[in-house]
Chains A and B, each alone.
Chain A
Amino acid sequence: MTYLRVVWQAFRLQAELARRGPQHLLMLLVTPMQTASLLALTLHSHRPDALVNAVIAPGMIGLWVAALDYAGRVVPEDQWAGRFTPMVAAPVPLTVVVVGRVAAVVLVGAVAFAESWLTAAVGFGRVLTVAEPGVFAAAVLATCLAAVGTAMLLSGVIALSRARDVLQNSLSYPFYILGGVVFPITVLPAWVRPFSRVVFLSWSAQLLRDAAHGTVRHWAVSLAVILALGAAALAGGMWLTRRVVDGARRKGTVGFA
């Protein structure tokens, strides 16, 4: 079985699991409210130029929530549900399976982009148009790939951590600020900005906003950085997942919930 087929099967498994849990709808319910909140503030302050920020941000947040809340729980939930043992015993590496499942979760997160666009159009009568659709589409695709890599990293960190709930509850808004998902990172103090540059969200958000406004410069560089950050996170995540499996095998705790 090729690894690609394993990824696809894992993708399908995650889709089936998500279909049975109403909690997976959460992100899709929260996105319209988040869009309404950001759009209201933008329109109330008479800043039509920032409309793009308010519509794109919930999509970015949706991806992050998918990576943090759902993908982060993939391995721990397998342990609770007793799926971890057969997964570890399977002839294919668990890391490949987790990549497929994380990708399924992130794809659902990407729906938030469409949802926020719809909320703006239907709820507020503001139809967001994109000046450079080609760059925009490439940026969304690169952002989704980077989100898969980041989700993989978060999944590994959360699986290894003894404070899983704390991590999942805490790593949202700090990253929305660092990632400049709704305002440019120039709003942040100068000493914070270098930290922003290692968060893929900051590159993605800026590229998406620029593509919508038609003010893109050096889009290839931005895309390359987004993909590189995603790839680095993916490599880190795969390494951590392997550590989880190796550690569980060595200590004889594979069957522990």
Chain B
Amino acid sequence: MRDVLRIVWQAVILGFAEMRRVYTWKTWTFGWLMRLLCQVTFYALLGSYLGDPHLMRYVLVGNTVGLACLESTIVVISLAGERAMGTLPLLAIAPAGHLPVYLGRGLQWTTTGLISSMVGWTVLPPLLGVPLPWPRAAYAIPVIVLVVISSYGYGCALAGVALRLRGVEWLVLNVAYGIVLTFGGTNVPLSFWPAPLRAVLEFLPLVHGLQAVRGILDGAPVGHVFGLIGIEALVGAGWYLVAWLSMDRLVSVGRRTGTLDYAG
């Protein structure tokens, strides 16, 4: 366990070193973070234009929690980058095994996803004139952390696709979070969509966590909220299992056929 934690820590250090290649704290704050906040504001203003402050708050909450999902899935790019650089075999021969290393490869995005979401959570509602009910809004924060974790598992699972096909990582990433943010209840309730689609949506991250967040804000019964949290955790665990199986197979097939170091 200690070894795994050490790997996780090293992965976070590596991830942030990689981020510093692109961003300084100023360009991250005034570039990337501002863009994410504008994304939430864009939908919130549309909600205000189409409806009333109630709809605006609904959309604002959905999209703010959605940021946690969006950033966590960027692990797809980090893992595909290892393929492009031909460094997958080096990670695969790590004494601790390839799984903790692979699964830790985009952990920096969970940190920034949580920060972005938290900034949106605290700053945007009062700024846009639809304040959240504190302290109840604070109780939702652990659920947002859970959304980050389950979405990261979803991203790792889909990274398996990006690792197998050449040059599709941006497609996979955008479709991955696009589906969740479009259909997962960020702008309209799930009941808006047809029943067959709703059945599929049950297996996406964010969906139940966001419902739990809305439940907390609306003062729903504790049992109901915990039920939703449990389902979100189960969905997340399912995606980690898919990621685990996918990467395990990738490495075993790659070892057998000698293709693990192909730079995709």
Q: A30-B178, A33-B178, A33-B179 are in contact. Are A174 and B192 (CB under 8 A)?
A: no
CB < 8 Å: which of A25, A34, A47 contacts B50?
A47
Please indicate the chain A residues that have their CB under 8 angstroms from the CB of B43 in the complex: 41
Please indicate the chain A residues that have their CB under 8 angstroms from the CB of B181 in the complex: 33, 37
Interface residues of B in 174-214 (CB under 8 A from A): 174-175, 178-179, 181-183, 187-189, 192-193
Interface residues of A in 21-47 (CB under 8 A from B): 21-23, 25-26, 29-30, 33-34, 36-38, 40-45, 47
User: In the complex, what distance in Å separates the CA atom of A3 from the CA atom of B46?
Assistant: 44
Q: How far is the CB of A219 from chain B (nearest CB, A)?
A: 23
Contacting pair B23 A173 (CB below 8 A): no
User: In the complex, what distance in Å separates the CA atom of A43 from the CA atom of B51?
Assistant: 11
Contacting pair A183 B167 (CB below 8 A): no
- List chain B positions with a Cβ less than 8 A from chain A: 22-23, 27-28, 31-32, 34-36, 38-39, 41-43, 45-51, 55, 59, 166-168, 170-171, 174-175, 178-179, 181-183, 187-189, 192-193
Please indicate the chain A residues that have their CB under 8 angstroms from the CB of B31 in the complex: 163, 166-167, 169-170
User: In the complex, what distance in Å separates the CA atom of A62 from the CA atom of B168?
Assistant: 19
CB nearest neighbor in A for B166:
A22
Query: Does A245 touch B at the CB level, under 8 Å?
Result: no
Contacting pair B170 A177 (CB below 8 A): no
Q: Mark A102-122, 1 if CB is under 8 A from B, else 0.
A: 000000000000000000000
CB nearest neighbor in A for B37:
A173
Q: How far is the CB of B111 from chain A (nearest CB, A)?
A: 17
Please indicate the chain B residues that have their CB under 8 angstroms from the CB of A221 in the complex: none
Contacting pair B170 A176 (CB below 8 A): no
Please indicate the chain A residues that have their CB under 8 angstroms from the CB of B38 in the complex: 173-174, 176-177
23 A-B pairs with CB atoms under 8 Å apart are A21-B167, A25-B171, A29-B175, A29-B178, A33-B175, A34-B178, A37-B187, A40-B192, A41-B43, A41-B47, A41-B50, A41-B188, A45-B47, A50-B50, A166-B22, A169-B31, A170-B31, A173-B35, A173-B38, A173-B41, A174-B34, A177-B41, A183-B49
Contacting pair A44 B188 (CB below 8 A): yes
User: In the complex, what distance in Å separates the CA atom of A29 from the CA atom of B170?
Assistant: 11
Contacting pair A173 B39 (CB below 8 A): yes
Contacting pair B178 A22 (CB below 8 A): no
Q: How far is the CB of B34 from chain A (nearest CB, A)?
A: 7
Query: Chain A contact residues (Cβ within 8 angstroms of B): what range?
Result: 35 or more
Contacting pair B50 A45 (CB below 8 A): yes
Contacting pair A41 B59 (CB below 8 A): yes
Please indicate the chain B residues that have their CB under 8 angstroms from the CB of A227 in the complex: none
CB nearest neighbor in A for B50:
A45
User: In the complex, what distance in Å separates the CA atom of A176 from the CA atom of B46?
Assistant: 11
CB < 8 Å: which of A26, A40, A42, A174 contacts B35?
A174
User: In the complex, what distance in Å separates the CA atom of A116 from the CA atom of B45?
Assistant: 21
Contacting pair A23 B187 (CB below 8 A): no
Contacting pair B49 A50 (CB below 8 A): yes
User: In the complex, what distance in Å separates the CA atom of A187 from the CA atom of B41?
Assistant: 12
Q: How far is the CB of A75 from chain B (nearest CB, A)?
A: 19
Interface residues of A in 128-156 (CB under 8 A from B): none
User: In the complex, what distance in Å separates the CA atom of A237 from the CA atom of B209?
Assistant: 46
Q: Mark A179-195, 1 if CB is under 8 A from B, else 0.
A: 00011100110000000
Contacting pair A173 B50 (CB below 8 A): no
